[in-house]
Amino acid sequence: MKDLLPAARERGMTVYERLYEPHGEEAKQHIKKYDKVLELDHEGKKRATPCLRHPEYQGWLTGTVRDLFSTYLFDGIQFGAERSGPMGEMLYWNSKPGCFCPYCRQEMKDKNIDPDRLRAGFYELYQFLQALRTAKEPPAGGAWHRYLRVLMQYPELLQWEWQWHRAQNELHQMVYNAIKEIDPKAQVGRHVACIETAMDMYYRAGAPFEEMAGNNDFIKIITYHEITGPRLHSWHLQSLGDSIYKGIPHDLIVVQPDGSKQIIPAFWSGETTWTFRYSATLEGVYSFTTRCSDAGNAGLHGKQGTIEVTPCTGDNLLYRHGTLTISEDGTHFEHLDGTPFFWLADSWWFGMSDRLRWPGEFQLLARDRKQKGFTVIQFALGFPCDIKPMDERGRNAAGIPGRTIAVYFYDKPGEGRYQMGGFIPGEIYLATYYDPRTGDAYDQGTFVLEEGEKYSVPAAPIRQDWVLIIDQK
Ligand SMILES: [Zn+2]
């Protein structure tokens, strides 16, 4: 800082400190007696986050910013926490709510919130959410109504949520005052995380922007133009779909040419696209209508269309006669339309390795087998037969089976700390991000692990379609 600040000034640049609230196991390692200021959940156990009302935590935070601003001439600070209030903690993060420390209990008394009623409400809601998450079906009458009922029976839950956001605001005020006392010109701003701007409905309701204007010179809103959609889906909507929105389908009703109906689940396939996969078995016109949990969502609900299925003109038996199934008498394979199928297979154990070149050699061999009357070709996927895992002879376009690991982030978009185990201790591995759109590769360095250690991806993929390739050197 001593070197950076004057060098930045010389170039006409400003320098802002970013202070992010510590929490979790990491904070414990770096902050002495951190345990002392942790929140207490409704069962009296410690949570991983510090209590906003704990005077020692407030003292530590304001002391830290005083120290920073009296030591260095920063132009300003961006201060904030990324965590939800008690309702969001339960709903989105499946975590127990707080806080019931003596300072919070005093606050409850001051605000006329009965601590026993609040605790009973937390028990009721937490148990209800747990039951929903493990149940196969939603409860009779629907999950959402039962959820609302708990809120009506225990309005203390909402009152306390509101007070949690007030406590957050008061803490910001303390930090603001502490810095302004030292340097009135320093710009104090609030970091507003993506959970606050986009995802957590309790946060959006509990922390209005206009209120933030009172004790901040600026607010820094995290919009995350690319990652918000996937995060909203994987962190929040899935969690709600497992709990209070349980049993609310996003699916498609298909009416077949013979008038019969099928319900096909649709799935979210990135950004604003929902997709369904459907294999038609009859010729004719199919009609479909989409059905969404939110009937008011015109983009998803009630979309209609038709699909025309015409007879196959090619000679692909699967298209002409339908997929394979077992005959009714259980003695042979047949197509869906009843045409018998004779399984005569040729095995190409190395068919998926570099030993068989695509397309020339592959197609030549396939044509040959077809002419000879074979109906099936079998491949070994992963390790080819007769060689040891990691043998060079198994190499194909994706590397050597068992030696190259490809990690797709589709299910875990935006998770920079994606961890993997199962590596051979002492071996050197090389990690590279691969961008399938451009073909660019980004070296992530090598790593060696000890027994039982896990590998953490050093940086999150820029886009969810990036693939992490791990090679043994
Ligand atoms: Zn507390």
Q: What is the pLDDT of residues 392-417, one digit of tens each?
A: 788 887 777 766 676 766 545 455 45
Are 13 and 36 contained in the same domain? yes
Look at residue 165 and tell me if it is in a domain: yes
Query: Burial code of 34-58, b = ≥16 C-beta within 10 A, e = fewer?
Result: beebbbbbbeeeebebbbbbbeebb
Chain-centre distance for alpha carbon 331: 47
Position 327 pLDDT exceeds 80: yes
CA dihedral sign, ordered 313, 314, 315, 317: negative
Look at residue 332 and tell me if it is in a domain: no
Question: Ligand 1 center to residue 336 CA distance, Å?
Answer: 65
Q: For residue 473, what pLDDT band results from cuts at 50, 70 and 90?
A: confident
Look at residue 325 and tell me if it is in a domain: no
Look at residue 268 and tell me if it is in a domain: yes
**Residue 416: its pLDDT value, please?**
47
Question: Ligand 1 center to residue 116 CA distance, Å?
Answer: 15
Position 8 pLDDT exceeds 90: yes
Question: Ligand 1 center to residue 176 CA distance, Å?
Answer: 21
Are 141 and 285 contained in the same domain? no
Question: Ligand 1 center to residue 82 CA distance, Å?
Answer: 17
Look at residue 374 and tell me if it is in a domain: yes
**Residue 462: its pLDDT value, please?**
75
| 244, 148 Cβ separation under 8 angstroms | no
Amino acid identity of 10?
E
Q: Which one, of 280, 267, 234, 243, lies nearest residue 414 by Cα?
A: 234
pLDDT higher at 280 or 121: 121
| 333, 340 Cβ separation under 8 angstroms | yes
* Final residue before a domain boundary, out of 191, 216, 242: 242
Tally of domains within the chain? 4
Which residue has 């809601």 as its token pair? 125
pLDDT digits (tens, 9 = 90+) for 428-444: 888 888 877 777 888 88
Question: Ligand 1 center to residue 127 CA distance, Å?
Answer: 22
Question: Ligand 1 center to residue 24 CA distance, Å?
Answer: 16
Average pLDDT of the residues in 158-180: 95
**Residue 30: its pLDDT value, please?**
84
Question: Ligand 1 center to residue 155 CA distance, Å?
Answer: 20
Are 123 and 168 contained in the same domain? yes
Which residue has 């045409």 as its token pair? 339
Look at residue 385 and tell me if it is in a domain: yes
**Residue 107: its pLDDT value, please?**
96
Are 282 and 378 contained in the same domain? no
Are 300 and 187 contained in the same domain? no
Question: Ligand 1 center to residue 29 CA distance, Å?
Answer: 21
How would you classify the pairing of strands 333-335 and 324-326? antiparallel
Query: Burial code of 176-202, b = ≥16 C-beta within 10 A, e = fewer?
Result: bebbeeeeeebbbbbbbbbbbbbbbeb
**Residue 190: its pLDDT value, please?**
93
**Residue 110: its pLDDT value, please?**
96
Residue 325, phi then psi, degrees to nearest 5: -150, 175
Question: Ligand 1 center to residue 178 CA distance, Å?
Answer: 22
Are 425 and 285 contained in the same domain? no
pLDDT higher at 237 or 89: 89
Are 138 and 177 contained in the same domain? yes
Average pLDDT of the residues in 350-376: 90
How many Å apart are CA 412 and CA 227, to the nearest integer?
A: 11
Are 393 and 407 contained in the same domain? no
| 103, 55 Cβ separation under 8 angstroms | yes
* CA distances to 55, 93, 136, 155, 464 from 148, in Å: 35, 19, 20, 10, 35
- Residue 341's SS3 state is strand
In this prediction, what percent of the chain has a pLDDT beyond 70? 88
In this prediction, what percent of the chain has a pLDDT beyond 90? 42
* Six token digits for residue 239: 């969690």
Position 173 pLDDT exceeds 70: yes
Are 72 and 168 contained in the same domain? yes
Question: Ligand 1 center to residue 17 CA distance, Å?
Answer: 27
Q: Cis link prior to 99 (omega < 30° from 0)?
A: yes
* Final residue before a domain boundary, out of 260, 293, 309: 309
Look at residue 76 and tell me if it is in a domain: yes
How many residues are listed for the chain in this entry?
473
Question: Ligand 1 center to residue 167 CA distance, Å?
Answer: 10
Q: For residue 387, what pLDDT band results from cuts at 50, 70 and 90?
A: confident
**Residue 342: its pLDDT value, please?**
92
> With 0-12 CB in 10 A as exposed, 13-18 as middle and 19+ as buried, what is 339?
exposed
pLDDT higher at 399 or 104: 104
Question: Ligand 1 center to residue 102 CA distance, Å?
Answer: 7
Q: What is the Cα gyration radius of the chain?
A: 30
Average pLDDT of the residues in 149-170: 96
Question: Ligand 1 center to residue 71 CA distance, Å?
Answer: 31
Average pLDDT of the residues in 181-200: 90
Look at residue 384 and tell me if it is in a domain: yes
**Residue 155: its pLDDT value, please?**
97
Are 362 and 425 contained in the same domain? no
Return mean pLDDT, the chain: 85
**Residue 229: its pLDDT value, please?**
65
Range of weakest confidence among 72-86, 230-244, 337-351:
230-244
Range of the domain at 384: 344-397
| 107, 167 Cβ separation under 8 angstroms | yes
Position 389 pLDDT exceeds 70: no
- DSSP letter (8 states) at residue 233: I
**Residue 16: its pLDDT value, please?**
95
| 41, 98 Cβ separation under 8 angstroms | yes
| 197, 232 Cβ separation under 8 angstroms | no
**Residue 233: its pLDDT value, please?**
64
- Name, in order, each residue with C-beta under 8 angstroms of 130's C-beta and a sequence gap of 6 or more: none
Question: Ligand 1 center to residue 41 CA distance, Å?
Answer: 9
Are 302 and 430 contained in the same domain? no
Are 410 and 280 contained in the same domain? no
Q: Cis link prior to 359 (omega < 30° from 0)?
A: yes
